[in-house]
Amino acid sequence: MLIELSHIQRLYRSDEVETTALQDIDLQIETGEFVAIMGPSGCGKSTLLNILGTIDRPTSGSYRFGTQELTAMNEAELAKFRREHLGYVFQSFNLIDELTIEENIELALIYREMPKSERRARVAHAVDHVGIAHRARHYPSQLSGGQQQRAAIARAIVGQPSLILADEPTGNLDTDNGAQVMDILQRLNDEGATIIMVTHSPSHADLARRRIDMLDGQVVVSVRNAI
C-alpha cells in the first residue's frame, strides 16, 4: 500500500462560518495505480489533492505514505518528503515567466545534491519525454498552452517522483492538447509512477485505472475501470 488516508477531515474556520471541505475520507491507493477524481465544483477535490501533496494539512485524521505517518512530520521533514517523492501538475501551469523552460524545470532539482551535469542531463531527458525539446530555451510566454502544460509535466517528473498529483491538467487545453497530456500521463503510469488526477472530463477519467467520485467532501463511489 502506497497511501492510506483514515478519517481525514479538513475544516475551514473564519469568524462567522465553518466550511467542511473534507468530511471523513478513507482512501487507499496502491503503488502504480492511476486514479481519477471527479465531482462537482466545491466538493473538495483540490483540498484532497493538496492534502495528498502535503501542501495543506488535515484538521484531523491520519495520512500514511508507505511506512511514514505524514501528519506527524514538521515542515522541514515535509519539504524533504515532497522533494523526494512528489511531482505536481496544476491547471494553471505555474511556470516562472522570467526563466526559460529548461531553467523552470531545473529549478525542481536545485535543492538536491546533484552535480550540474546530472541536472542538465535530467532536464534534457524530461523535455524530450514530453516532446518539447525544441522549445527548451524559450520562455513560457513563447509557448502554446499545450506546450506550457507539457513543460509543467516535465518539471513534475524531472525529480523522478513516485507519486504524481495533477489538478485538472487538461482543464485549460483543447481536445488535441488534452489528449497529448493524457498520453504522457498514461506513459508515466506504464513506467511505474502512481498518478492521482482531478478531472472534469469523463472521457479522461475513463483512461485512468480507477475512478473516485466525490460529493460534499466525501468519497461516494470508487470503481475500477475495465482497461
Ligand X SMILES: Nc1ncnc2c1ncn2[C@@H]1O[C@H](COP(=O)(O)OP(=O)(O)OP(=O)(O)O)[C@@H](O)[C@H]1O
Residues at the contact surface with Mg ion, assessed by CB under 5 A: 46
Q: Return the number of the residue (21 or 208) whose C-beta is nearest ligand X.
A: 21
Comparing CA positions, the residue from 174, 176, 175, 196 lying closest to residue 185 is: 196
Q: Return the number of the residue (46 or 54) whose C-beta is nearest Mg ion.
A: 46
Question: DSSP strand E in the chain: where?
Answer: 3-13, 18-29, 34-38, 60-65, 68-69, 86-89, 163-167, 194-198, 210-215, 218-224
Q: Binding to ligand X (CB under 6 A): which residues in 8-37? A: 12, 19, 21
119: left (phi over 0), alpha (psi -120 to 50) or beta: alpha
Q: Binding to ligand X (CB under 6 A): which residues in 35-64? A: 39, 41-47
Q: Return the number of the residue (49 or 184) whose C-beta is nearest Mg ion.
A: 49
**Residue 37 CB, nearest distance to Mg ion (Å)?**
10
From ligand X, Mg ion, none, interface partner of 41 (C-beta below 5 to 8 A by class): ligand X
Decide: is 194 part of the binding site for ligand X (CB under 6 A): no
Decide: is 202 part of the binding site for ligand X (CB under 6 A): no
Decide: is 204 part of the binding site for ligand X (CB under 6 A): no
d(CA 26, CA 214): 12
d(CA 50, CA 28): 16
- Is the Cβ–Cβ distance between 12 and 18 less than 8 Å? yes
**Residue 64 CB, nearest distance to Mg ion (Å)?**
24
From Mg ion, ligand X, none, interface partner of 146 (C-beta below 5 to 8 A by class): none
- Is the Cβ–Cβ distance between 43 and 37 less than 8 Å? no
From ligand X, Mg ion, none, interface partner of 140 (C-beta below 5 to 8 A by class): none
Q: Return the number of the residue (41 or 74) whose C-beta is nearest ligand X.
A: 41
Q: Return the number of the residue (101 or 181) whose C-beta is nearest ligand X.
A: 181
Comparing CA positions, the residue from 206, 209, 214, 207 lying closest to residue 224 is: 209
Q: To which residue does cell 509535466 refer?
A: 153
Q: Return the number of the residue (58 or 159) whose C-beta is nearest ligand X.
A: 58
Side chain identity at 77, as an amino acid letter?
E
Helix (H, G, I), strand (E, B) or coil at 15: coil
**Residue 167 CB, nearest distance to ligand X (Å)?**
7
**Residue 225 CB, nearest distance to ligand X (Å)?**
21
**Residue 68 CB, nearest distance to Mg ion (Å)?**
26
Other CB atoms within a 10 A radius of the CB of residue 198 amount to 23
**Residue 22 CB, nearest distance to Mg ion (Å)?**
13
Contacting positions for ligand X (CB under 6 A): 12, 19, 21, 39, 41-47
